[in-house]
Amino acid sequence: MTSFRLALIQLAVTASKSDNLARATKFVREAATNGAKIVALPECFNSPYGTKYFPTYAEKIPGQSTEALSSAAKDNNIFLIGGSIPEEDEGTLYNTCMVFGPDGHMLAKHRKVHLFDIDIPGKIRFQESETLSPGNSFSCFDTADCKVGVGICYDIRFAELGQVYADKGCKLIVYPGAFNMTTGPAHWELLQRARALDNQLYVATVSPARDDSAGYVAWGHSTVVSPWGDVLATTDHQEAIVYADIDMKRVEEVREQIPVRRQKRKDLYEVVSKG
Ligand SMILES: NC(=O)CC(=O)C(=O)O
């Protein structure tokens, strides 16, 4: 089989972790019932997004969220990309995405590699490094259809990470993310289309739904982009499930038609993976 259905759950995240887990579980079931084989949740799906919240909501892996995600993957016989949660490990906090296979086993644990430290005067200042530490590894997993790479939000700004995943054989990269009302309209779709075109693969981003009363207001617009750079499926900012049928043949077609991956001048430049 070369095609499968991908579902992105643009969850309305609240301050109640148990409510977030219950609602995520319900939407995962709905997506699987509608034929999705890979389902993804947003960044910080079980906690509000903000440095002051991370220590309070952080949990160990395995823990409450691990168990809920593992059961949701197994009960619905799907691959589940579990957005991200604030993780605590030996006193250090990370922004971490867990991926589970259809048997409920954890296949990957991606700790956000690039921390979101920005300062746009008069608009937004956010310093994840006030409470979080970065991860130090790449995270891919295999399905029957393709290898999938995982990044979290700010990771999408780093073209090299996308290229490393493409070089490792990934044909889909999924970025749970939560861009905001300044960078979202300016860069969210542009970056996604850029990473898809750079590497001639599918790219998906999964945001929380927008909550205008939150300290950090997410842009929403969870989206799937094709290897040609087309937006295949998207939504606005409300809670929603975005579905896209992913055809692996399209990756090969585009790579054959415009063979930039074979035409790189490795005698002049190269991206080297150290992980
Ligand atoms: N929240 C993020 O990690 C990234 C983001 O909002 C941006 O890059 O813009």
Across the chain, what does the average pLDDT equal?
Answer: 97
Residue 152 has pLDDT above 70, yes or no: yes
Q: Pull the structure tokens for residue 220.
A: 């929403």
Q: Ligand 1 in contact with 114 (CB < 6 A)?
A: no
- pLDDT-based confidence at residue 227 (cuts at 50, 70, 90): very high
Q: Are strands 36-40 and 79-81 parallel, antiparallel or unpaired?
A: parallel
Q: What are phi and psi of 202, to 5 degrees?
A: -80, 145
DSSP per-residue codes, 177-194: ---BTTHHHHHHHHHHHH
The per-residue pLDDT for 275 is 81
Tokens found for residue 73: 């993957």
pTM value > 0.90: yes
Does residue 94's CB lie within 6 angstroms of at least one atom of ligand 1? no
* 210-219: average pLDDT: 97
The answer on pLDDT for 64 being more than 90 is yes
φ, ψ (nearest 5 deg) of residue 100: -120, 145
Task: Please tell me the distance between residue 152's alpha carbon and the centre of ligand 1 in angstroms.
Answer: 9
The complex's ipTM works out to 0.99
**If you average pLDDT over residues 59-73, what whole number do you get?**
98
- CA of 118 from ligand 1 middle (Å) equals 8
CA 162 to CA 198: how far, in whole Å? 8
Q: How far is the CA of 240 from the centre of ligand 1 (A)?
A: 21
- Mind listing the pLDDT tens digit for each residue in 156-198? 999 999 999 999 999 999 999 999 999 999 999 999 999 999 9
pLDDT, average across residues 61-79? 98
Q: Which of 88, 81, 193, 95 is nearest to 143 (CA)?
A: 81
Q: Which residues partner with 110 through β-bridges?
A: 97
Tell me the per-residue pLDDT of 20-59, one tens digit each, with 9 for 90 and over: 999 999 999 999 999 999 999 999 999 999 999 999 999 9
Three-state DSSP string of 211-240: CCCCCCCECCCCEEECCCCCEEEECCCCCE
Could you give the angle at which helices 183-199 and 159-167 cross, rounded to 10 degrees?
30
Average pLDDT over residues 93-104: 98
Is any ligand 1 atom within 6 A of the Cβ of residue 178? yes
Q: Which atom of ligand 1 is nearest to the CA of 112?
A: 3
Residue 1 confidence (pLDDT): 56
Q: What is the CATH number of domain 3-263?
A: 3.60.110.10
- What is the predicted pLDDT for the residue at 2? 80
The Cα–Cα gap between 48 and 30 comes to 23
- What single string gives the DSSP state of each residue in the chain? --EEEEEEEE----S-HHHHHHHHHHHHHHHHHTTEEEEE--TTTTS-SSTTTHHHH-B-SSSHHHHHHHHHHHHHTSEEE---EEEEETTEEEEEEEEE-TTS-EEEEEE-SS--EEEETTTEEEEGGGT-----S--EEE-SS-EEEE--GGGGG-HHHHHHHHHTTEEEEEEE---BTTHHHHHHHHHHHHHHHHHTSEEEEE-PPP-TTSSS-B----EEE-TTS-EEEE--SSSEEEEEEEEHHHHHHHHHHS-TTTS--TTT-------
CA distance 259 to 255: 5
Which residues lie across from 87 on neighbouring strands?
Answer: 59, 94
> Rounded mean pLDDT of 129-146?
97
In the chain, where are the structural domains located? 3-263
Pocket test for ligand 1, best of 111, 115, 116, 210 (most atoms within 8 A of CB): 116
- Say yes or no: CB of residue 183 within 6 Å of ligand 1: yes
Quick one: average pLDDT of 142-155? Answer: 97
Whether ligand 1 lies within 6 angstroms of the CB of 179 is answered as yes
